[in-house]
Amino acid sequence: MSKSVALALSGGAARGFAHIPICEAFDRCGVRPARIAGTSMGAVIGALHASGMSGKAIREWVVAMFAKRTDVMSRLMRAQRGGGKLFALSFTKSGTLDPKVLLEAFLPDDLPPRIEDLPIPFTAVAVDFLTGEECHFSSGPLITALAASIAVPALIKPVVLDGKVLIDGGAANPMPHDVAGADGNPVVACDVIGLRTPKSGGIPTPTESVYGAAVILMQSVMRAKAAMVPPALLVCPDINRFTLFDFFKAGDVIAAGEDAGREVEAFLRAHAGMVASA
């Protein structure tokens, strides 16, 4: 049997919504990814697709979820009242948001509780802060894996698990195409980390400098990994005009991924002979 195609989705916070047209392209071609690997928001979108949600259903869910600021705040308040502690008391100790409570407030209620229960093989990538080593979650509690993968330092609390202090996988593997292709399948990889132009158009502000430096580092890591094991196709949606926090521009961010989605569709159709749909 010919090999199927794996899918790798990068981190990028709100920019990660541009991954959705990539999932839709797989759907249009009738191709079920051999494995989906994701980092941070890429892990969240990847887990939804691995759960059996179509790209169209993910699009509708995201747009509805972030249509109104009041609805978002209501969800956060319900999560807080529901026994979870969403906001940490100290900004200096471990961040401000509890990732598990955050995910439980926004993810669909019918997601399988464990990764191995997902219809499509899935891996979420995090990093052990104490050792710098990548941690790949291909089994175990899904919420825990996603919480670790989205734990952006200084914004979201790390996840402590089995003696490890887990943070956002972008610190070591922002676009885990090597993880997606570990079984030898060709990989379609989507990079939504991008770059960011200072609003002033000139010297960046201190905040822009910190964010921009982190993005440059992640891009350097991705280029190095891609040079060693190139993905079969790398697409980069035009998302530079959006920030990490443009969640309320979800529809626009998704639209920015449409061209990349068409590129993926063309690739899958052109290589239909090597694709084995499940």
Query: Catalytic site residues?
Result: 40, 168
Greatest Cα pair distance, the chain, in angstroms, is: 55
| AA identity, residue 8 | A
- Give, in order, the Cα–Cα distances in Å from 85 to each of 97, 99, 148, 151, 257: 8, 10, 16, 15, 34
Query: What are the φ/ψ torsions at residue 168 (nearest 5 degrees)?
Result: -45, 130
Query: SS3 string of 213-226?
Result: HHHHHHHHHHHHHH
- Nearest Cα residue to 143 out of 82, 87, 101: 101
Number of H helices, E strands in the chain: 10, 8
Percent helix / strand / coil, the chain, rounded to 5: 45, 15, 40
Q: Nearest CA to 43 among 190, 183, 244? A: 190
CA 225 to CA 193: how far, in whole Å?
Answer: 15
